[in-house]
Amino acid sequence: MKSLIDIQDLTPAEIDELIVTANDIIENPKKYSEVCRGKKLATLFFEPSTRTRLSFEAAMYELGGNVMSVSSGASSSAAKGESVADTAKTVSCYADIIAMRHPKEGAPLVAAMNASIPVINAGDGGHNHPTQTLTDLLTISREKGRLDNLTVGFCGDLKFGRTVHSLISALSRYTGIKIVLISPEELTVPSYITTDVLEKNGIDYEQTTDLLSALPELDILYMTRVQKERFFNEEDYLRLKDSYILTPDKLKGAKSDLCIMHPLPRVNEIAIAIDDDPRACYFKQVFNGKIIRMALMMKLLEVHV
Amino acid sequence: MNIDSIKNGIVIDHIAAGRGMKLYRLLNLDALDCTVALIKNVGSRKMEKKDIIKIDADIDVNMDILGYVDQNVTVNIIRDGEIVEKKQIALPERLTNVICCKNPRCITSTEQELPHIFRLTDAQNGVYRCLYCETQAEKTAE
Ligand SMILES: [Zn+2]
């Protein structure tokens, strides 16, 4: 039984296939509205994440299926000490597919090793979140018409941002990719990203602290939040925070077809004034997230149109 | 120093000096009833100094543990006082319950029943990572 735990579980060809299905869903939603009739998705969220859970649930409803939802709470079986393995075996008797979010790294893998139905990792602590990466890839593909030959800038907290690490890994399998890493020195990517991912795959990359000078060459700008708690002292935070906030003024030097992305929720790192700019793609990402989850669940359930 | 040569058993030779005790612990040799000798800092022609373990019984030694701790060791199987087999050691693809994941955010930290499994992710540098959280295991040399 196939599950999705890590974005690397999918080959680039399988990702292309999902993108083709997703584009077709967007064009012909009616064609897909009943394909999962009688199928049940169990969303097991041992950590709250309303937007991810809603995205999975909306995706299953749009395929004509049903949803059973368990969110963490005092009454849940995890609170009673049930193991992830036992939960996976039990839920396999009720549902056809599981989407699991868990605060512990590797929990969805344990579930997949024990379930008799497909398991989708909906985020395990700071480790993996493959459907976010699929969402980002679909967005880039739809906005740019390709996943290769792109200059992609990542800005903000690149040290702790798992969405950033995972998207960099996914993009490093395509040709002609250039990565520009824009962050304060305190929040640069972990060294395994530069050595094991970028250098190992021969990816052209650049590290800078200056968003303004990096902007003109970018096709994609992926923004993340710079959180106050990541800094050792308040002064450093205050000194740096405005440098990584995107404003209409800063965008003047950017390409006219730049695609601005953000995994959301945002706080203040993208000025509201940019929302109306045609280059803002972060709300399209939310929509694309639902669509790619539809395509993914169809694939894992082996449902064909 | 003189250690009696063994009749039937196993000699693990050419262990890097200082790693003999670690092997002794990981192979659980203290649980054996037979004679076991751990000889430290032996002068050697091939190496500056080495450790040797002699086990006076024909037991199954976990080759994965040997490979993980020191892939340059030689394993000699002794029968009737003669070496009947020399075993090649390779870096194991997977280690199950040999080492523990120390990442406090890993699922193995809360679910004690789970086996601790590590995968060889970089054979060239002997890097092992936890199957669940991908945290890198500490290098064996330390
Ligand atoms: Zn681990």
Tens digit of each residue's pLDDT (9 = 90 or more) over A123-181? 998 899 999 999 999 999 999 999 999 999 999 999 988 899 999 999 999 999 999 99
**Which homologous superfamily is A131-285 in?**
Aspartate/ornithine carbamoyltransferase (3.40.50.1370)
Q: Which residues of chain B have a CB within 8 Å of the CB of A124?
A: 107
CB A241 within 8 A of CB A226: yes
Local confidence band at A216 (pLDDT 50, 70, 90 cut-offs): very high
Position B120 scores a pLDDT of 93
Q: How far apart are CA B51 and CA B44, in angstroms?
A: 10
Peptide bond preceding A265 in cis form (omega within 30 of 0): yes
Q: Which two tokens stand for residue A76?
A: 């849940």
CB A96 within 8 A of CB A39: yes
Locate the domains of chain A by residue range: 7-128+286-300, 131-285
Q: Given an 8 Å threshold on Cβ–Cβ distance, is A106 in contact with B111?
A: no
CB A153 within 8 A of CB A224: no
pTM: 0.88
- Distance between Cα B116 and ligand 1 center (Å): 8
At residue A73, does pLDDT exceed 60? Answer: no
At residue A74, does pLDDT exceed 80? Answer: no
pLDDT in tens, B71-100: 889 999 999 888 999 988 888 999 999 999
CB A155 within 8 A of CB A222: yes
pLDDT in tens, B23-60: 999 999 999 999 999 999 998 777 789 999 999 998 88
In chain A, how long is the greatest CA-to-CA distance?
A: 57
Query: For all residues of chain A together, what is the average pLDDT?
Result: 93
- Distance between Cα B51 and ligand 1 center (Å): 31
Taken in order of first residue, the domains within chain B and their CATH numbers are: 9-88 (3.30.70.140), 94-130 (no CATH)
Position B142 scores a pLDDT of 47
- Quote the percentage of chain A above a pLDDT of 90: 82
Position A56 scores a pLDDT of 98
Q: Which residues of chain A have a CB within 8 Å of the CB of B131?
A: 106, 109
Nearest Cα of chain A lies from the Cα of B13 at a distance, in angstroms, of: 35
At residue B2, does pLDDT exceed 70? Answer: no
- Distance between Cα B104 and ligand 1 center (Å): 8
Name residue B133's amino acid.
C
At residue B1, does pLDDT exceed 60? Answer: no
Position A11 scores a pLDDT of 95
Residue A207 burial class via C-beta count within 10 angstroms: exposed 0-12, middle 13-18, buried 19 and up: middle
Give me the DSSP letters along chain A. Answer: ---BSSGGGS-HHHHHHHHHHHHHHHH-GGGGTTTTTT-EEEEEESS--HHHHHHHHHHHHHTT-EEEEEE-STTSTTTTT--HHHHHHHHHTT-SEEEEEESSBTHHHHHHHH-SS-EEEEEETTS--HHHHHHHHHHHHHHHS-SSS-EEEEES-TTT-HHHHHHHHHHTTSTT-EEEEE--GGGPPPHHIIIIIIITTT-EEEEES-HHHHGGG-SEEEE----GGGSSSHHHHHHHHGGG-B-TTGGGGS-TT-EEE--S--SSSB-GGGGGSTTB-HHHHHHHHHHHHHHHHHHHTT---
**Average pLDDT for residues A33-51, to the nearest whole number?**
95
CB A208 within 8 A of CB A181: yes
Position A294 scores a pLDDT of 98
Do domains A7-128+286-300 and A131-285 share one topology? The answer is yes
Q: Is A137 on the interface with B (CB under 8 A)?
A: no
Q: Which residue of B has its CA nearest to A83?
A: B111
Q: Which residue of B has its CA nearest to A104?
A: B107
Q: What are phi and psi of A138, to 5 degrees?
A: -65, -40
Q: Given an 8 Å threshold on Cβ–Cβ distance, is A104 in contact with B114?
A: no
Position A76 scores a pLDDT of 59
pLDDT in tens, A236-255: 888 877 789 999 999 999 99
Least confident of A162-166, A185-189, A218-222, A225-229: A225-229
pLDDT in tens, B108-132: 999 989 999 999 988 888 899 999 9
Q: Which residue of B has its CA nearest to A108?
A: B132
Q: Which CATH class is domain A7-128+286-300?
A: alpha beta
Query: For all residues of chain B together, what is the average pLDDT?
Result: 89
Q: Given an 8 Å threshold on Cβ–Cβ distance, is A105 in contact with B113?
A: no
Nearest Cα of chain A lies from the Cα of B78 at a distance, in angstroms, of: 41
Position A240 scores a pLDDT of 79
CA A215-A221-A224 angle, 5° bins: 115
| Residue partners of B120: CB distance under 8 A and separation at least 6 | B91, B92, B93, B94, B126, B127, B128
Q: Is A84 on the interface with B (CB under 8 A)?
A: yes
Least confident of A1-10, A73-82, B122-131: A73-82
Q: Given an 8 Å threshold on Cβ–Cβ distance, is B111 in contact with A83?
A: yes
CB A108 within 8 A of CB A85: no
